[in-house]
Amino acid sequence: MTRGEFNGFCAALPATTHVVQWGNAEVWKVGGKVFAICGWADGADAFTFKVSDIAWEILRDAPGFRPAPYLASRGLKWLQHFGAPGLSDSDLRDHIAISYDLVAAGLSGKRRAELGIPQSAQQRKSEP
C-alpha cells in the first residue's frame, strides 16, 4: 500500500480527520482519537494501527511487524507494519478498518451520534 492509497482509504471512513505531525507522519483520527498512522521506518512507509487482543498475540512477532514505537511501550496494543512479508494491501485495509472500529467504539454513544458514526457489526453483536 502506498501512502496515497493509505490516505485515500482512511479519508473514506466516516467522520475522520487528518493531520501531518511527528516528522511528516500522516495521522488519521476519529472523534479526535488516533486510529492509524503512516510514517517512515528505515526510509520506507510504515503503517501503525490499533489491534484486538487476538491480533496482538498473532502478529506482534510476525515478520514485517513490530509493536508500535511509543504506543506499545505504554502498554497499548498497537502494531506497526513496516516490511515484507507483512500483510497484503487488502488485509492491511481490513486491519486499519478494525482499528477505526476499535477507536470509534471507545467514543461515547453521544459523540458517535454527533459524528454520524454508525454502529459497527462488532458493537451490534454485543448488544442484547
pLDDT value for 120: 56
Give per-residue pLDDT as tens, 7-65: 999 999 999 999 998 888 999 999 999 999 998 766 778 999 999 999 999 998 999 99
Say how far apart CA 3 and CA 6 lie, in whole Å: 5
Comparison of pLDDT for 76 and 123, the residue scoring more:
76
Mean predicted confidence (pLDDT) in 101-123: 81
pLDDT value for 42: 66
Asked whether the beta carbons of 105 and 82 are under 8 A apart, the reply is no
pLDDT value for 24: 84
Class of domain 3-115: alpha beta
13 φ, ψ (degrees, to nearest 5): -75, 145
- Asked whether residue 128 carries a pLDDT value surpassing 60, the answer given is no
Asked whether the beta carbons of 88 and 111 are under 8 A apart, the reply is no
Q: pLDDT averaged over the chain?
A: 87
- Asked whether residue 67 carries a pLDDT value surpassing 60, the answer given is yes
pTM for the predicted model, two decimal places: 0.86
